[in-house]
């Protein structure tokens, strides 16, 4: 793993640092398990991210994280591979007290101050949470002409998969 993906999150925020980088989705082993198996004909998916340290006077230091990628998944209707576009933004506040002691009623996400925060793990966690449970083509689905109420016969689907 790239060294630059381990950061001191509090210092990063206080110094208002910026980091824009990318890495291969295959580096994220937990995420790779929920994606379509890698097809050698398609270039491997890349995850792009941008991290910005935010620190205003008299307010809590924070981080802004943007994640952009396209991930291969299996359409749950036609069982073909499809790409989903992901564009996520997160705002975190960093606290040097333990998270339990903080009021968790509000909408902000908290990160504990950590001089070795693993950015890649944070990105993987956020992507796992953002993955749709049952992805399906919005258009051009090969099963989209199906009459409503008609269900695919699972055995017919299986038969089509075995050659
Ligand atoms: Zn489909």
Residue ranges near ligand 1 (ion) with Cβ within 5 Å: 75, 77-78, 137, 141
How far away, in angstroms, is 22 Cα from ligand 1 center? 29
Residue 13, φ and ψ in degrees, nearest 5: -70, -50
pLDDT by residue for the chain (163 residues), tens only, comes to: 666 799 999 999 999 999 999 999 989 999 988 898 866 666 678 999 999 999 988 888 999 999 999 999 999 999 998 999 999 999 999 987 765 555 555 667 889 999 999 999 999 999 999 999 899 998 889 875 554 555 555 555 555 554 4
Taking the alpha carbons of 21, 27, 30, 32 in that order, is the dihedral positive or negative?
positive
In the three-class reduction of DSSP (H, G, I as helix; E, B as strand; rest coil), residue 46 is classed as strand
User: If you measure from the C-alpha of residue 77 to the centroid of ligand 1, how many angstroms do you get, rounded to a whole number?
Assistant: 5
Taking the centre of ligand 1 as the mean of its atom positions, its distance from the CA of residue 43, in whole angstroms, is: 21
Q: 149 C-alpha vs ligand 1 centroid, how far in Å?
A: 16
Which candidate, 71, 85, 68, 76, places its Cα nearest to that of 37?
71
CA of 76 to the centre of ligand 1 (A): 7
Structural domains counted in the chain: 1
Q: Is 124 exposed, middle or buried (0-12, 13-18, 19+ CB in 10 A)?
A: buried
Domain that holds residue 83: 3-161
């Amino acid at each position: 793993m790239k060294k630059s993906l381990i950061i001191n999150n509090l210092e990063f925020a206080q110094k208002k640092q910026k980091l824009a980088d990318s890495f291969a989705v295959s580096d994220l082993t937990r995420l790779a398990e929920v994606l379509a198996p890698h097809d050698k004909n398609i270039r491997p998916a890349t995850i792009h991210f941008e991290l910005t340290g935010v620190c205003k006077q008299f307010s809590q230091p924070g981080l802004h994280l943007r994640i952009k990628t396209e991930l291969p998944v299996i359409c749950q209707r036609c069982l073909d591979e499809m790409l989903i576009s992901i564009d996520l933004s997160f705002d975190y506040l960093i606290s040097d007290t333990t998270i339990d002691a903080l009021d968790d009623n509000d909408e902000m996400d908290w990160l504990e101050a950590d001089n070795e925060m693993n950015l890649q793990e944070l990105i993987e966690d956020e992507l796992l949470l953002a993955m749709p449970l049952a992805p399906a083509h919005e258009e051009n689905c090969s099963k989209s002409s199906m009459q409503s109420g008609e269900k695919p016969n699972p055995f017919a689907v299986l038969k089509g998969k075995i050659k």
